[in-house]
């Protein structure tokens, strides 16, 4: 297990140390999933495995974009 300390920039950016990027196959352009777990932040490279684990997570639930459209439409009528 690697543990390194890094600093968050004024823009909210941080650097993932090179040995961690290399061991996880993180290259420029790699998408990263960010999860808050209590007081911890978990970063995971988006891989086919992660996509498979989360596929269908929101199925059957209302679409956020559709709900926002409905709300805007209601406001426009008044």
Looking at residue 52, what is its pLDDT?
A: 65
Of residues 11, 54, 10, the one with CA closest to residue 31: 54
Contacts of 17 (CB under 8 A, 6+ apart): 2, 4, 6
Element (H, E) at 77: helix 64-77
Looking at residue 51, what is its pLDDT?
A: 62
Note if the pTM is more than 0.85.
no
What is the band of 49 on the pLDDT scale with cuts at 50, 70, 90? low
* pLDDT per position as a tens digit, 55-67: 666 666 666 677 7
What average pLDDT does the segment 42-67 reach?
70
């Amino acid at each position: 297990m690697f543990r390194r300390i890094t600093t968050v920039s004024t823009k909210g950016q941080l650097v993932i140390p090179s040995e961690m990027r290399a061991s996880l196959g993180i290259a420029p352009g790699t998408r990263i999933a960010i999860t808050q777990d209590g007081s911890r932040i978990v970063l995971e490279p988006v891989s086919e495995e992660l996509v498979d684990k989360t596929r269908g997570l929101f199925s059957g639930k209302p679409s956020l974009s559709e709900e926002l459209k409905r709300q805007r439409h209601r406001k426009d009528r008044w």
